[in-house]
Amino acid sequence: PDIINEEEEYEVEEIRGHRRKGRGIHFLVHWKGYGNEDDSWIPRSSLKNAEEALSEY
């Protein structure tokens, strides 16, 4: 992972799905350099630096 603002940040390779959770939306994220087993559901608010992947989705 990269270090941005003293925090680890992983690069999003692609968004593979979405679902509603409460009032928000979570996206199924595939991380660059990781296998499918590491895909994870991430809230939209945590994807601030993934605009390109979100727009491609």
Structure confidence by residue, pLDDT tens digits, 1-57 = 444 455 567 899 999 999 998 899 999 999 999 999 999 999 999 998 899 999 999
| Cβ-Cβ contacts under 8 Å for 50 (sequence gap 6 or more) | 12, 15, 29
- Report if residue 53 sits inside a domain: no
Query: Both tokens of residue 25?
Result: 């939306």
Structure confidence at residue 50 (pLDDT) = 92
- Report if residue 55 sits inside a domain: no
Query: What is the number of domains present in the chain?
Result: 1
Residue-range definition of the domain harbouring residue 7: 2-46
- Report if residue 51 sits inside a domain: no
pTM given for the model = 0.82
- Report if residue 52 sits inside a domain: no
For 1, which DSSP code?
Answer: -
Structure confidence at residue 4 (pLDDT) = 47
Structure confidence at residue 7 (pLDDT) = 57
Structure confidence at residue 6 (pLDDT) = 56
Structure confidence at residue 5 (pLDDT) = 54
State the CATH number of the domain containing residue 11. 2.40.50.40
Phi, psi of 33 (to 5 degrees): 85, 5
CB atoms within 10 A of CB 4: 9
